[in-house]
């Protein structure tokens, strides 16, 4: 399945458009996956970084009270950090801290997916044009919204931690503390 999805992203002249179409079709099924381990297995084994990035973006858009229309960027990831509620209640019964833990896991995966390829523009171009970019050792083109400061990150992380503390009303489990450190 992962190989087929990856090839489906690549067949179009614009992998970005392909990934959007495929993600829009696959996303409702992700919401119906009953167990966290199954959702993570699907997302962690995804071969197309662009498709995984888009699916995670849709998941966080779904969990925001006020979705944003901006394009994918580091600033948008910070927006998700500030505006996402705990991920939607899936079919499995999990404790609130485990839902926060899953959210942190997916935020880290989104950041990793975004930084790996889409930021470098290699997967935003067709496969025939991509070879030229690789041969030329083209530098990544940053978007204006990718220029974020350490202070921006610290403020958003502090707000996020405060929201988590209000919700959990208990000390963070070690798994959450570790993921917060890794994400920051």
Query: Which pLDDT tens digits describe the chain residue by residue (184 residues)?
Result: 888 888 887 777 777 788 889 999 999 999 888 888 999 999 999 888 888 999 999 999 988 888 888 888 888 888 998 888 776 655 556 677 888 888 899 999 998 888 775 444 545 556 566 666 666 666 656 666 677 888 988 898 899 888 888 888 888 888 888 888 888 8
How confident is the model at residue 67, as a pLDDT?
A: 80
Q: How many CB atoms lie within 10 A of CB 164?
A: 18
| Per-residue pLDDT reduced to its tens digit, 75-86 | 888 899 888 877
- Tokens 């009303």 sit on residue: 169
d(CA 143, CA 71): 9
69 Cβ contact list (under 8 Å, min separation 6): none
How confident is the model at residue 133, as a pLDDT?
A: 63
Alpha-helix residue ranges (DSSP H) falling in the chain: 2-10, 15-31, 36-44, 49-63, 74-83, 96-116, 127-136, 150-168, 174-183
Distances (CA, A) of 89 to 41, 62, 85, 182: 18, 12, 11, 24
How confident is the model at residue 94, as a pLDDT?
A: 66
How confident is the model at residue 119, as a pLDDT?
A: 46
pTM of the entire predicted model:
0.81
């Amino acid at each position: 399945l992962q190989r087929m999805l990856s090839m489906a992203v690549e067949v179009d002249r614009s992998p970005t458009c392909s990934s959007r179409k495929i993600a829009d079709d696959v996303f409702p099924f992700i919401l119906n996956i009953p167990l966290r381990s199954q959702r993570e297995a699907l997302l962690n084994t995804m071969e197309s970084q662009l498709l995984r990035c888009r699916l995670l973006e849709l998941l966080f858009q779904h969990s925001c009270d006020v979705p944003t229309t901006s394009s994918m960027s580091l600033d948008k990831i910070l927006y998700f950090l500030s505006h996402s509620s705990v991920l939607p209640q899936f079919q499995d019964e999990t404790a609130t801290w485990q839902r926060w833990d899953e959210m942190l896991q997916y935020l880290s995966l989104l950041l990793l997916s975004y930084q790996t390829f889409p930021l470098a523009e290699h997967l935003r171009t067709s496969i025939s044009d991509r070879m030229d970019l690789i041969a030329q050792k083209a530098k990544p083109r940053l978007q204006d919204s990718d220029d974020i400061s350490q202070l921006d990150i610290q403020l958003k992380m502090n707000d996020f931690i405060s929201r988590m503390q209000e919700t959990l009303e208990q000390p963070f489990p070690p798994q959450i503390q570790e993921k917060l450190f890794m994400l920051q």
